[in-house]
Amino acid sequence: MCGIAGILDLNSGRAPARAELEAMIGTLHHRGPDGYGYFQEGPCGLAHARLSIIDLSGGWQPIHNETSDVWVILNGEIFNYIELRAELEGRGHRFYTRSDTEVIVHLYESFGEDFVDRLNGQFAIALYDTRARRLILARDRVGIRPLFYAEHGGRIAFASEVKALFALPEVPRELDRRGVAQVFYLWSCTEPLTPFRGVHALAPGTMLIVESDGRRRERRYWDWDFPPEPVRASRGAADLAEELRALLIDSIRLQLRADVPVGAYLSGGLDSAIITALTRDYTRSPLRTFSIGFEDPEFDERAFQSEMAAHLGTIHSSVLCTAEDIGREFPRVVWHCESPIVRTAPTPLMLLSRSVRDAGFRVVLTGEGADETFGGYDIFKEAKVRRFWARNPASPWRPALLERLYPYLRHSPAASRGFARKFYGQGLDHVAAPDFAHLPRWKTTQRAWQLFSPGMRAALAGYDPAGTLLSRLPDRSVRWPGLGRDQWVEAHTLLSGYLLSSQGDRVAMASSIEGRFPFLDHRVIEFANALPPHLKIRGLTEKYLLRRSVEGLVPERIRRRTKQPYRAPDSASFFRADASLGYVEELLRPARVRESGLFDSAAVERLAGKCREGKAIGFSDNMAFVGVLSTLLLEEMFVRAPRCAGMPGPASWLGASRRQAHA
């Protein structure tokens, strides 16, 4: 894991100044604290911040081929590099390091831009061919590692994080209203849009190729796909479960490759339990596991975490996260996430990654991705019930099935039959619509648009975030099963834009920790996508085949446990009777809210008052408040703060805000 940055000058043809590259990569020190590397030739400059995991002494980047005319920098890991190296050496290629990165330049020599199809990994890549003067940017299939770019004055700048782009004076710092609005609808921005005007995100599974004459093209080399007639439909569940287990073991075997110890997250749920149980048999030392716990029993899963750790005999530690911790650390989370966020859930995960670093680890395996891949979320079960209900809308008992969902919620949206019928009944006459599963959820989030200022609402007139996303669905999606369309939308919104970013890469790399995701091996995803829906959700049992594949591997209480999504206390974290958070009061001042031009100060004041009194108990109010606060923090730290090399960061701004609040 590392940070990458670079510049391609399409106008002057001169190499970017070393000082520019140093300024960019200096903002990414948290991603690569072990040292920097640079390349400058012709119109291109590359910079790399290293977190040493493979080939600790020799894997310094940028890395080149035998003739030093192809150069590459990598953020992430190529897990099948050993097999690729053997194949390439058989073709006559010579290696000068033991690193995974070096296979990329030799694959490019042999296969051109198709090199990316051969990679099994999680990566953001910048490759420069000095002979052709061609720049290639590539991102892994599901979007585990980030990659941003901006073009100004004939120069294309790119980096792992936006703050590195802002180290260049020509890149303006301004929020993009449509990007902000997308977060307040879809929970995330859909690539290439970002919360910053003029800053673009490379989409997962995509390459950007820039030729010497400035011509550029994007190539989508991979996407989620769902055969209309699943190829595995004729095979028995027992046979498929055995194949799935073998595939997961191989994914974990590859992802354990590292020259440093590898730990694992243990959440208390099925997914992390599977990864941990399978990992235990492939480590040479006692497995180290890490988890997060909460004071509030509604969020706390420590009992299940302890049960699994005891069952496996791991060396286990848990971090207790309080509401005070969330309120205190939230600005730092926004600084690293570089986006408005509508939940506080990334904050405890940042504290968890800090505990991993303090324990001397740099790599952890996680269970993320199983729900998207095998149909684990309540939204998929909701959609199944709603499709069943839509076949007989007058039925009094079909919608009652929704009451079996959300047993873990103190205030379940399905508890009131009247509310449930109104909420989940939305769109019943459009069962084939690609947003059928997500429409009720999106409408709830979009209520926060009522907090936007008149000017913001005017700027968004006629704008449809969902339509922008759904227009990218391939034509063949009309032949997919309904669950397949639901999964595609989930993968292109919540997974890549939020879970793998704000709850994944960003908060882990804040502590220089690399997360690895065995369930997101593209071979596992392609296996799951070819399954018939009833092997993912059987009745209302989610992840049916996955559960069956691990019989005898994890305790039955955990194997049969209903999915409980990871959550954290939201607005209550910012208003406590025994403490006052100066930055919250400062940002929510009516005058300060008006200055942003984004929100209606009176509406925000009413919402803040409701949260301050502890009356915000529903998802809508909590998400709206967290979204407003994080957006104002984002603007304060990235737009309003004085520009300086390296950017000021949250610590300097928080110090100033505290002084202002208590003056």
| DSSP conformation class of 402 | G
Closest CA to 542 of 562, 566, 564: 562
Closest CA to 109 of 127, 83, 82, 86: 127
Maximal CA-CA distance, the chain: 73
Cα–Cα distances (Å) from 130 to 150, 186, 244, 449, 524, in that order, read: 21, 41, 43, 48, 36
Cα–Cα distances (Å) from 202 to 29, 142, 158, 327, 484, in that order, read: 22, 11, 10, 32, 24
d(CA 424, CA 441): 9
Residues sharing a CB contact under 8 Å with residue 371, sequence separation 6 or more, in sequence order: 271, 377, 542, 543, 563
CA-based end-to-end distance of the chain:
43
Element counts in the chain: helices (H) and strands (E): 26, 17
- Confirm if 167 and 159 have CB atoms less than 8 A apart: no
Extract the tokens encoding 242: 């055995």
SS3 362: coil
Closest CA to 622 of 341, 417, 422, 421: 341
39: β partners: 46
- Confirm if 587 and 334 have CB atoms less than 8 A apart: no
Closest CA to 177 of 493, 599, 584, 503: 599
Annotated catalytic, 321?
A: no
Give ∠ CA 574-624-375 in degrees, rounded to 5: 105
Long-range contacts of 215-221 (CB under 8 A, 24+ apart): 219/113, 221/116, 221/117
Alpha-carbon torsion, ordered 440, 568, 493, 290, to 10 deg: -140
β-pairing, 288-294 with 2-9? unpaired
Q: Which of 2, 189, 321, 611 is catalytic?
A: 2
Cα–Cα distances (Å) from 579 to 240, 306, 325, 582, 659, in that order, read: 55, 32, 12, 9, 16
Other CB atoms within 10 A of residue 637 CB: 22
Question: What residues act catalytically?
Answer: 2
